[in-house]
Amino acid sequence: MKLFGHKLTASAAFGLAVVGLFIVISLFTPWIAPYSESANVGGTWDEPSMKMIFGADQIGRDMLTRMMYGSRMTIGVALAITTLSFIIGILTGLVSAVMGGYVDVFFTRLVDVMLSIPSLIFALIILGVFGSSIPTLIMTIAVLDSTRVFRLSRALGMNLTVMEYVEAARLRGEGLWWVITREILPNAWAPLVSEFGLRFCFNFLFIAGLSFLGLGIQPPYADLGGMVRENAAAINFGMMAPIYPATAIALLTVSVNLVVDWMLSIDARPSGAQAEL
């Protein structure tokens, strides 16, 4: 089977199908969910039945509905974070590459220091001081993640700034903004797209992890990581309640990774430890 002119492997097809399913579910949740987001329809941790396909959560709400709303929330937040971090990272990276000089040195040193602190720790510090509302969450993680996007786009920009057509554009008198958007960005697209997929996965897991620790998206918003946290006690009774949202998280990240892996293999990126980072 071919997609966009490239051969599709079995794993990539599976990945695309799952990602598509998640996208459809997240977009149309309010219309296709069996119950409303916080309706109590059963007892605590009811077994799966005809009425509730995955059983009930810790206060009797339908697990499937909660999972649908949770994916919607978590995917939405992760998408917002990745988009924001890419905007910041690409802008600073390309400006750094094109302008060079003090701007470049300043940003590079700042990013180096920021990368010397593990992202989870840094995020915990900022969230601890500012509290964890959704806008704070999105902005903090976006700024943290933009450091890696900065590195990538700066490297790409450095390669492209020395090309003749960029020099020609500068000699014509084109301004900084024009050079970045019309000469450099269109040629730097491809690696950035696959990086977007990888960073989305990472941010998705990051948000789920933070919510699992109780520091991410706060109740009553449904969120997959938070659901794992709320239902965690069921494990001690041998019930599978926290496994359902955790499986949803795992399924989505595996699928996105499979798709990105397939996209990278088309692109024929050079192998080596760099490719895995």
Partner 1 sequence: MLAGALVMRAQFFSYRSHLMAKLIVNRLLLGILTLFAVSVLIFVCTQILPGDVASAVLGQGATPEALVVFRRELGLDVPAHLRYWNWLVGALHGDLGVALTNKRVIIDDLLPRLRNTLFLAGYAALIAIPLSVGLGVLSAINEGKWSDRLANVLTLIAISLPEFFIAYLLIIFFAVNVHWFPSLAMVSGSMGFSERVFQTTLPALTLTLLVAAHMLRMTRSSVLSVMSTPYIEMAFLKGAPRRRVIVRHALPNAAAPIITVIALNMAYLVVGVVVIEAVFVYPGLGQYMVDGVSKRDVPVIQACGLTFATVFVLLNTLADILVILVNPRLRHQR
Asked whether position 242 contacts partner 1 by CB under 8 A, the answer is yes
* Among 215, 202, 193, 224, CA closest to 86: 193
# residues contacting partner 1 (CB under 8 A)? 53
Q: How many CA atoms lie within 13 A of 42 on its CB side?
A: 22
The answer to whether 130 touches 136, Cβ cutoff 8 Å, is yes
What one-letter code names the amino acid at 262? Answer: W
Shortest gap between Cβ of 225 and partner 1 (angstroms)? 8
The answer to whether the peptide bond before residue 219 is cis (omega within 30 degrees of 0) is: no
Q: Which member of 205, 233, 264, 266 binds partner 1 (CB under 8 A)?
A: 205
The token pair that represents 34 in the structure block: 């069996």
Shortest gap between Cβ of 241 and partner 1 (angstroms)? 10
Q: Which is nearer to partner 1, 93 or 226 (CB)?
A: 226
Q: Which is nearer to partner 1, 179 or 201 (CB)?
A: 201
Asked whether position 275 contacts partner 1 by CB under 8 A, the answer is yes
Asked whether position 58 contacts partner 1 by CB under 8 A, the answer is no
CA 232 vs. chain centroid, Å, equals 24
Q: Which is nearer to partner 1, 179 or 259 (CB)?
A: 259
Q: Which is nearer to partner 1, 59 or 125 (CB)?
A: 125
Stretch that binds partner 1, among 56-64, 114-122, 151-159, 178-186 (CB under 8 A): 114-122
Q: Which member of 131, 163, 165, 267 binds partner 1 (CB under 8 A)?
A: 131
The beta strands (E) that lie in the chain are given as 2-3, 6-7
Q: What CA–CA distance (Å, rounded) separates 80 from 201? A: 13
Shortest gap between Cβ of 2 and partner 1 (angstroms)? 22
Q: What CA–CA distance (Å, rounded) separates 117 from 123? A: 10
Q: 153 burial class (0-12, 13-18, 19+ CB within 10 angstroms)?
A: buried
Binding site for partner 1 (CB under 8 A): 11, 112-114, 116-122, 124-131, 201, 205, 208-209, 212-215, 225, 228, 232, 235-236, 238, 240, 242-243, 246-247, 249-250, 253-254, 256-258, 261, 270-273, 275-277
